[in-house]
Amino acid sequence: MHRTPVRAALAAALLLPLVAACGGGDKNDAKSSTTLTVLTAASLTDVFKQAGTAYEKDHPGTKVNFSFAGSQELASQVRQGVPADALVTADTTTMDGLKSDTDKPVVIAKNRLTIVTAQGDPKGVKGLADLSRSDLKVVLAAPQVPVGRYSQKVLDQQHVKVRPVSQEANVRAVLSKVSLGEADAGIVYLTDAAAAKGKVSTVTVPDAQNAVASYPAAALKGSKHPEEAADFVKWLGSGEAQKLLRAAGFQQP
């Protein structure tokens, strides 16, 4: 007569740890499934892949996915409400235009321009003035792209008129055109030229003729993971992240 309640008690006791284990598993799964989407300027492609790996190692509960494109394309995505958690642009102008969509931005790095040519510089490009030569096929980024604006600024300041054979949507497209031999020269960031070492040659643009590009980062107000997004942006200013940026050729913010 007493076997039924005893069996029931035993069954309940056996189920308790299973229920607890299932509940704990849900929490762990939720934590491990936190994925941040970071809209990132194309010129940060190589170094941010390294940064993402380092961040995930230090933050095992978070995975970081990057969407690389020209800053103007990223801004358009933010305005269209594309799901994302943080934004890093290659200029403050683009970021400033998104004040209603972002938390307070912080500059994480700076960059400068350089001229890239075909390997060995067969056309003998010596400086900005040469980019106006009629025998050169020059490619630039479009004026809406930060590197395109920077490029036009330095050319205008030196009174150099360039008729580009194409205007590209991001800096990596400019670099690709030159490295593939589709153009004789182009203007890119120093870091992009460094990433293509062995595929292109560089011609220095003196500091007095150059422009400084600032890279601000900010968490997006529409993020579904605001704390994690803010933590990632803060981490970009940490010693570990800054060491990676310096090694890639980016300057201190």
φ, ψ of residue 154 to 5 degrees: the values are -70, -35
Decide if pLDDT at 2 tops 80. no
> Is 111-212 a CATH 3.30.360.10 domain?
no
Kindly report the CA angle at 23 between 19 and 29, in degrees rounded to 5?
Answer: 140
User: How far is CA 225 from each of CA 62, 89, 154, 168, rounded to the nearest angstrom?
Assistant: 10, 20, 40, 33
DSSP H/E element including 105:
none
pLDDT tens digits, one per residue of 197-236 = 999 999 999 999 999 999 999 999 999 999 999 999 999 9
CA distance 241 to 217: 13
**Residue ranges of the domains in the chain?**
30-110+214-247, 111-212
Q: List the structure tokens of 47.
A: 């170094």
Pairing of β 34-41 and β 62-69: parallel
CATH architecture of structural domain 30-110+214-247: 3-Layer(aba) Sandwich (3.40)
Q: List the structure tokens of 152.
A: 């036009």
Q: Return the closest-CA partner of residue 168 out of 61, 38, 72, 235.
A: 72
Decide if pLDDT at 18 tops 70. no
pLDDT tens digits, one per residue of 21-58 = 444 444 444 445 899 999 999 999 999 999 999 999 99
φ, ψ of residue 142 to 5 degrees: the values are -60, 155
Mean pLDDT of 151-161: 97
Mean pLDDT of 70-89: 97
Same fold, 30-110+214-247 and 111-212: yes
